[in-house]
Amino acid sequence: MSDKVIIRALGRCDYQLTYELMQQFTAARDETTNNEIWLLEHPPVLTLGTSAVESHILDAGNTPVVKTDRGGQVTWHGPGQLMVYLLLDLKPLRLTVKSLVRNMELAVMETLSPYGIQAKCRANAPGVYVDERKISSLGIRVKRGCTYHGLAINISNDKNAFSGINPCGYPGLDTVRVNDLTEEKSLDDVAKDLLPNLISNLNLKNHTQVFTSEHWQQP
């Protein structure tokens, strides 16, 4: 495996296209392929994981619905929500699926703590919560030991974004945004604070970080 990790700041991207690109990247990779982290946001979309029950969509309205191969139930993605896609080869990083999920959650919690947000995870309910309100969702797919999909953090999205679904398949589950709990943060602010925690928790500390946008220069 390469000793580089490519950080791609992609801006706002169509969900279906991004999904297909992740699949293509994972299918084509070999032992020399760099690990990558993609940072972006999507236009509004509802996505269904492999365990999704369509009755958990209460009212999609005009929002597109996309079936995916990630784990989990139904969720919403859209403007003001930071998407972090992790395209990783787990074995060289000494990560199992279980430890990957746990370390993703830890990275989010460590990022939110300096904002004064005391977040936690819940047994048998992947994601990160603040007082039982979900602030970050997780969903991954593993093929040949390599991952794609990743995590989402609610930052400044529409307060009513999740009103048309049972988030992650839980009727009545409330969601919360970073900017409900602290001084206003942009997606860039949170992404820059999250990256070092991801790098550390995902055992990428010895990898050279290569940024693909001038905006994402390494500190």
Residues designated as active site: 168
Q: Residue 203 has which token pair?
A: 């055992």
N residues, the chain: 219
Torsion of CA 63, 165, 18, 41, to 10 degrees: 90
Burial of 63 (0-12, 13-18, 19+ CB in 10 A): middle
Sign of the Cα torsion 147, 50, 126, 181 reads: positive
Q: Bridge-partner residues for 87, per DSSP? A: 36
Tokens, residue 84: 């972090």
